[in-house]
Structure 1
């Protein structure tokens, strides 16, 4: 089909993404004078109805979230000739998946992207929303370096994990699964179009076995995304869907031979088969991950400082910061190595200053030897000193005045 000129009230500029199910267009909103991205799913029949339900759910869930690292949803509707469409914030940049293929991000830039994506996913979890499809292609990176988590199309609120089957946009494809084997374990995650709800390469074992997913499942997918971003390969490789699923369900994480032992231990825990064995929170995973990254100590110090900033990415005056092991052990600041022994786990959280406050600096400079700050009002001590000096001068003047008078009278 030819690309449309308009979708709803939006003027189509050009296609910016193409998939088997539909197209993403760059468009302009003539009312608000801003550019938007419009996702269109070109399907018919029951699949069209399910796509519309999923779009509505994505819009409803996204409306509950307001975070600078989340893509904002503006509108949802149906175009008669095209089908359901979703209008969202346009992010000028590339997906994290493309950056991984191009190998365009270094270790520090990759970690900063992960920190921002972590903030977005935490915001969803705090609102009792499970994303269920965290992967590199669902993280956009703007040209300014801002990471944006997107696509809540299969997300669920933790209070509504079970819907009416007639209204469930994620209804199974197989009413009577007879294929057996691992295809049967995917029955609850397949739509009527045969699409896997989520990405098998990043899905945790419990989801592949039929679980609807939990925040622990999202944390697994986030760790799998981090693994691929930092290593360039999947934690569970395979040439096809079945091989990937078998590896996830039966094999341990495939660590690269050159991966530092501490970093490998972090990923082994984050990608544990049992959800209870994984890191209980995303910040704990990121702290351990950053502390285990190879590279100069300055890099990890900058990453911890970046992680300590406000979630809207604005700087703050102080932050909780774990000193890298090299600094705690007194290693030189220009050290490029990273020890793999247990010393790095002995670092303790301390407060550091990320931005000097001129008021605080001034007050600190006025501290007395007793530890008390001098009053900021009138300096009465100085006034008393000057008053005493004036008094002594006056006394001296009155004492000398008779002698001066006699000297002036004398012929």
Structure 2
């Protein structure tokens, strides 16, 4: 069953930021910063939106409101996916600012993993099959990711192990597939 109760994850940004202890920065993108945090006694990922010089035509409050809407849409999708396609679990989303707290997906981005293991053909094929299976699960749940690239795929491999765990991240550009979109049987 798909969980669509986004309200239970909504909190005021001041409460979220109070409960999130920043451990380190993970990366920065066009729309803000991603950080590793401790949130309510668990390790999590916090995505905070901020004004970016790329969009200097927009006043800061207008752009922040735009980002807040985008972040809430991403949170809604994560809530509805509820882990399908190994999408990160949603922990909290701010009602008043562009802030999301979600499950931390441990590992290396695919680009780094690929450069370290590119000669391991079986491992690379296993990773690619896992990505394809996860995309199929996301599509089956009624969504498209819209931003699949080597920076949005996380690969975890324990030291000395053969098994790999693959996760897709950053569902910010994901969209619901319209019900009228033709599907194959």
TM-score range, shorter chain: 0.7 to 0.9
The answer as to whether partners of 1:69 and 1:116 remain within 8 angstroms in 2 is no
Q: Does 1:88 align with 2:96?
A: no
Q: Which runs of structure 2 are paired with 1:202-217 in the superposition (5 Å)?
A: none
Identify the residue that residue 75 of structure 1 maps to in structure 2: 92
Q: CA deviation at 1:215?
A: 9.7
Structure holding more helix per residue = 1
| Cα distance between partner residues in 2 of 1:47 and 1:77 | 16
Identify the residue that residue 59 of structure 1 maps to in structure 2: 75
CA RMSD for the aligned pairs?
2.7
Identify the residue that residue 121 of structure 2 maps to in structure 1: 107
Q: CA deviation at 1:51?
A: 1.2
Q: TM-score, normalised by structure 2?
A: 0.72
Counterpart secondary structure, 1:151: coil
Count of aligned pairs: 155
Identify the residue that residue 35 of structure 1 maps to in structure 2: 43
Please list the CA deviations of residues 182-205 of structure 1 after superposition, one character each: whole Å capped at 9, or x if unmatched.
Answer: xxxxxxxxxxxxxxxxxxxxxxxx
| Cα distance between partner residues in 1 of 2:102 and 2:43 | 9
Q: 1:154 aligns with which of 173, 178, 184?
A: 173
The answer as to whether partners of 1:130 and 1:215 remain within 8 angstroms in 2 is no
Identify the residue that residue 34 of structure 2 maps to in structure 1: 24
Structure holding more strand per residue = 2
| Cα distance between partner residues in 1 of 2:20 and 2:33 | 15
Please list the CA deviations of residues 31-73 of structure 1 after superposition, one character each: whole Å capped at 9, or x if unmatched.
Answer: xx21001011112232211211111111111112233632222
The answer as to whether partners of 1:21 and 1:41 remain within 8 angstroms in 2 is yes
What residue ranges of structure 2 are gaps of 5+ in the alignment?
A: 1-15, 52-59, 159-163
1:118–1:131 Cα change, 3 Å: same
Counterpart secondary structure, 1:121: helix
Q: CA deviation at 1:119?
A: 1.8
User: Hey, which bits of structure 1, 4+ residues long, moved more than 6 A?
Assistant: none
What residue ranges of structure 1 are gaps of 5+ in the alignment?
A: 1-5, 162-213, 217-279, 282-411
Q: Does 1:139 align with 2:156?
A: no
Identify the residue that residue 271 of structure 1 maps to in structure 2: none
Identify the residue that residue 12 of structure 1 maps to in structure 2: 22
Q: Which runs of structure 2 are paired with 1:3-402 in the superposition (5 Å)?
A: 7-30=17-40, 33-43=41-51, 44-65=60-81, 66-67=83-84, 69-77=86-94, 83-100=97-114, 102-105=115-118, 106-144=120-158, 145-159=164-178
Identify the residue that residue 397 of structure 1 maps to in structure 2: none
The answer as to whether partners of 1:140 and 1:148 remain within 8 angstroms in 2 is yes
Please list the CA deviations of residues 105-157 of structure 1 after superposition, one character each: whole Å capped at 9, or x if unmatched.
Answer: 42211111111111211111112212111111111112342100122212111
Structure with greater Cα Rg? 1
Q: TM-score, normalised by structure 1?
A: 0.34
